[in-house]
A and B are shown apart, each in its own frame.
Chain A
């Protein structure tokens, strides 16, 4: 689990770090849609430059982003190869039986690859530069309009921030329990499928038990500190929208406009 970079946060004080989480979330969301506007080399070129600008501004080493890509590599290659083999049309370059690689399929595969890489880079950028709790705050305030249609926004936000806060604790618990069972002679990932599934039990049960206990303790601790739900609460961490946040969204609009214009000009 140590190798997972996505979802981690690296403290820093770059321009990207100081952005409001709401603008970052919104930008990330918009970026996923914008990426579908690109349908040729120029379009992907513009988006790549935009992404790398973000990476450069975050002042985090590129190698961490590449590492974040690694766990997804299998999925990406799987999709890319399928695209390559099953896209029809264009000039046939190579053929075995009914599988053929054409100019079209190569192009398509490349675009799919770029889409994956850019989205993963952007989401890694989001999590590497935003502390999880701030992210939860951003989601909570971002969802605030949904209160009108009776979505329990505060509760969702609370659950989100509690779960985010307990992820590392639970990971520690898991490692601890795994270590304890390993030193009692448990082997993980060995034997046939049934044995492998069985070997999960000595970890899962203690983990659930400790989570229940922790949930009880936390609920009692919260109540005794006067927590009564979302009504009438004030906020300690106040999010502040700054000029750079507007600039970020503006730059996304510009990128989208350029892409649309380029598509129409062609």
Chain B
């Protein structure tokens, strides 16, 4: 399912002394089935933009089109609700949204809000909990008894249970240990492979390089660059100047290049780097 932004601007608290403009003329296209990364420095407007994706914020001007639904500054609640189901958002630290008595009920909460019967919702919940790696014996526990990592998985299952066709992830791995981070990113990759359009908001360039096929760079509420990660990371000076940096593999390749190793393109993933070094070694 495709999403497109057409000249979207957003101002917080207009007409008050506290007003601040967060987005300026955003044009953005998320193709069906793509893995899009939104990157930018803290305060660049990433989170504001993300809240437009499922109409938690309505644009001050411009339009957001999600599938056939056009979200305008004047859109009403009823027109928006279907968008909420199609676009599932995993907010930062999603474990804070858990509230129900048991893990299972909490996960079933989402689908039930969209009219799925209790039994069906719980069946979906079981399936999604297994998918994120929560075993059956935890289903009847209180979500507050779980460890931090498990709570996050349950929260993510709660989003997946709505069967969204677009999954938006706002720094999903923040505060996780390295292994949990890799596991979680692999999980999202699997979900993406099953045909879910994925939008990842992050400031980890390694994740962008490893998983995304399109990226947008935001700065001070504007999109300053967009394209394929392979192309964007070639311009190391630009990425460093915007305080984003480049993936580790790219940085390493750059150091090698400074010492006289020739690369046609800078690699952005570790696998690509290894490949290029091997090739260089074979050619002597």
Contact = CB atoms under 8 A, between A and B. Distances in A.
Secondary structure call for the A interface: helix
Given A180-B94, A184-B159, A206-B98, A64 B56 contact: no
A202 B91 contact: no
A69 to B, nearest CB: 14
Contacts of A209: 96, 99, 144
A83 B18 CA distance: 37
B17 A206 contact: no
B110 interface: yes
A75 to B, nearest CB: 22
A185 B96 contact: no
B233 to A, nearest CB: 31
Interface string A167-179: 0000001001101
Interface in B35-84: 51, 54, 56, 77, 81, 84
Interface residues of A, number: 29
A184 B110 contact: yes
B97 interface: yes
A179 B51 contact: yes
Nearest to B83: A183
Contacts of B99: 201-203, 205-206, 209
B77 A202 contact: no
A159 to B, nearest CB: 24
Interface of B: 12-13, 16-18, 51, 54, 56, 77, 81, 84-85, 87-89, 91, 94, 96-100, 109-111, 113-114, 144, 158-159, 162
15 contacts: A5-B16, A8-B18, A10-B17, A67-B16, A180-B89, A183-B56, A183-B88, A183-B159, A185-B81, A185-B162, A201-B99, A202-B97, A202-B99, A202-B100, A206-B98
Interface of A: 2-3, 5, 8, 10, 60-61, 64, 67, 173, 176-177, 179-187, 190, 201-203, 205-206, 209-210
